[in-house]
Chain A
Amino acid sequence: VSRCQRVADASAAADAQSLAALAAHAEACADCAQAQHAHAAYQHLVSGARRALDAEGDLAPEAWVAIRSGIDAATGRPNRWRLAWPVGLATAALGVALVVVAPKFSAPDSRDPAAQLSASEPAGVLPDRLPASTAPEAVARLGDDAPSPGPGDVLSTADDARTIVAFGRHVLTLSPATAVEVVSWTPSSMIVTVRRGSLSCDVARASAAELFEVRTSQARVRVLGTRFSVTAERDGATAVHVGHGLVEVAHIGGTTRLAEGQADRFGGAPAAKLAPEAQVEPEADGPRDPAARGSASRAVRGHSPQLIDIKVPDQAMEPPAASKRPAPKAGAGGDLKLIEIVVPPQSAPSP
Chain B
Amino acid sequence: LSSGADTDEQRAFAAVPKFDTVYREQRGRVLGAVRAILGPSDEVDDVVQLAFIEIHRCLDRFEGRSRLSTWCYRIAINVALQHLRKKRRKRWLMLGTTGEEATEMAGAVHSAGRLEDRQILEKVYRAVDTLSEKKRVVWVLHELQGQDPGEIASVLGIPMNTVRSRLLAARRDLMDELARMGVAPDGGTK
Interface residues of A (CB under 8 A from B): 3, 7-8, 11-14, 31, 34-35, 37-39, 41-42, 45-46, 48-53, 55-56, 58-59, 63-64, 66-68, 70-71, 74-75
A35's partner among B23, B174, B189 (CB-CB below 8 A) is B189
Residue from B114, B124, B178, B179 whose CB has the most chain A CB atoms within 10 Å: B124
Report how far A45 CA is from B143 CA in the complex, Å.
Answer: 11
B185 touches A37 (CB 8 A): yes
Q: A38-B186, A67-B45, A74-B53 are in contact. Are A55 and B117 (CB under 8 A)?
A: yes
User: Which residue from A12, A45, A56 sits with its C-beta under 8 Å from B123?
Assistant: A45
Query: Which of B114, B123, B174, B187 gathers most chain A CB within 10 Å?
Result: B187
Interface string of B165-190 (1 = CB under 8 A from A): 00010011011001100011111111
Given A12-B171, A42-B175, A71-B49, A52 contacting B114 (CB threshold 8 A): yes
Contact status A38-B27, CB under 8 Å: no
The docked-state distance in angstroms from the alpha carbon of A55 to that of B113 is 11
Asked if A35 and B121 make an inter-chain contact with CB atoms under 8 angstroms apart, the answer reads no
A17 CB → nearest B CB, Å: 16
4 more A-B contacts (CB under 8 A) besides A45-B120, A50-B143? Answer: A46-B143, A48-B117, A52-B121, A55-B117
Task: Flag if A41 contacts B117 (CB, 8 Å).
Answer: no
- Pick the contact of A49 from B19, B52, B125, B186 — CB < 8 Å? B125
User: Which stretch of B10-18, B28-36, B153-161 is in the interface?
Assistant: B28-36
B83 on interface, CB distance cutoff 8 Å: no
| Other-chain residue from A12, A34, A53, A74 in contact with B185 (beta carbon distance below 8 A) | A34
In the bound complex, do residue A58 and residue B31 qualify as a contact, i.e. CB atoms below 8 Å apart? yes
B131-146 interface bits toward A, Cβ cutoff 8 Å, 1 = contact, 0 = none: 0000000000001101
Given A45-B123, A45-B124, A55-B114, the answer on whether A67 and B187 have CB atoms closer than 8 Å is no
Asked if B168 contacts A13 (CB within 8 A), the reply is: yes
A58 to nearest B CB, angstroms?
7
When distances are taken between beta carbons in the complex, the residues of chain B under 8 Å from A31 are 188
Cα–Cα distance between A35 and B48 once the two chains are bound (Å): 39
Contact between chains at B175 and A75 (CB < 8 Å): no
B138 CB to closest chain A CB, in angstroms? 13
The complex places the Cα of A125 from the Cα of B189 at a distance, in Å, of 100
Q: Are A42 and B23 in contact (CB under 8 A)?
A: no
A163 to B7 Cα, complex, angstroms? 85
Show 30 residue pairs from A and B whose CB-CB distance is below 8 angstroms, ordered by the A residue: A7-B187, A12-B171, A31-B188, A34-B187, A35-B189, A37-B187, A38-B187, A38-B188, A39-B175, A39-B187, A42-B175, A49-B121, A49-B124, A52-B114, A52-B118, A53-B35, A53-B36, A53-B121, A58-B28, A59-B44, A59-B48, A64-B27, A66-B45, A68-B23, A71-B23, A71-B49, A71-B56, A74-B53, A75-B53, A75-B57
Contact present for A71 and B121 (CB under 8 Å): no
The reply to whether B188 and A35 form a contact with Cβ atoms under 8 Å apart is yes
Q: How far is the CA of A160 from the CA of B44 in the complex (A)?
A: 82
Task: Please determine whether A49 and B144 come into contact, CB atoms closer than 8 angstroms.
Answer: yes
Is there a chain A Cβ closer than 8 Å to B8's Cβ?
A: no
B116 at the interface (CB under 8 A from A): yes
Once A and B bind, how many residue pairs between them come within 8 Å at the CB atom?
A: 110
Given contacts A38-B175, A71-B49, contact A45 B31 (CB under 8 A): no
Smallest Cβ-Cβ distance to A4: which chain B residue: B188
Query: Given contacts A42-B187, A55-B114, is CB(A67)–CB(B52) below 8 Å?
Result: yes
Inter-chain CA distance A68–B51, complex, in Å, is 12
- Across the interface, A42 reaches (CB within 8 A) one of B31, B118, B178, namely B178
When distances are taken between beta carbons in the complex, the residues of chain B under 8 Å from A50 are 143-144, 146
Q: Would B45 and A59 count as touching, CB distance under 8 A?
A: yes
**Is the CB–CB distance between B48 and A67 below 8 Å?**
yes
A214 to chain B, nearest CB (A): 66
Distance A51 CA – B118 CA, assembled complex (angstroms)? 9
A12 and B49 form a contact (CB under 8 A): no
A-chain residues with CB within 8 Å of residue B183 when the two chains form the complex: 41, 45
Q: For A11, list chain B residues within 8 Å (CB).
A: 175, 187, 189
Residues of A within 8 A of B125 (CB): 49
What's the Cα separation between A38 and B27 when bound, in Å?
Answer: 37
Residue of B nearest to A1 (CB): B188
Question: For residue A70, which residues in chain B have a CB less than 8 angstroms away from its CB?
Answer: 49, 53
| Residues of chain B with a CB closer than 8 A to A68's CB | 23
Bound state CA distance, A2 and B40, in angstroms? 39
Given A45-B178, A49-B125, A52-B114, check contact A38 B185 (CB 8 Å).
yes
- B185 / chain A contacts, CB cutoff of 8 Å: 34, 37-38, 41
A35 to B40, CA, bound (A): 29
CB closest chain-B residue, reference A37: B185
| A56 to chain B: closest residue by CB | B35
A45 and B57 CA atoms in complex are apart in Å by 38
Asked if residues B189 and A41 are in contact (CB atoms below 8 Å), the reply is: no
Question: In this complex, what residue of B is CB-closest to A31?
Answer: B188
Q: For A13, list chain B residues within 8 Å (CB).
A: 168
Q: Which residues of A contact B190 (CB under 8 A)?
A: 3
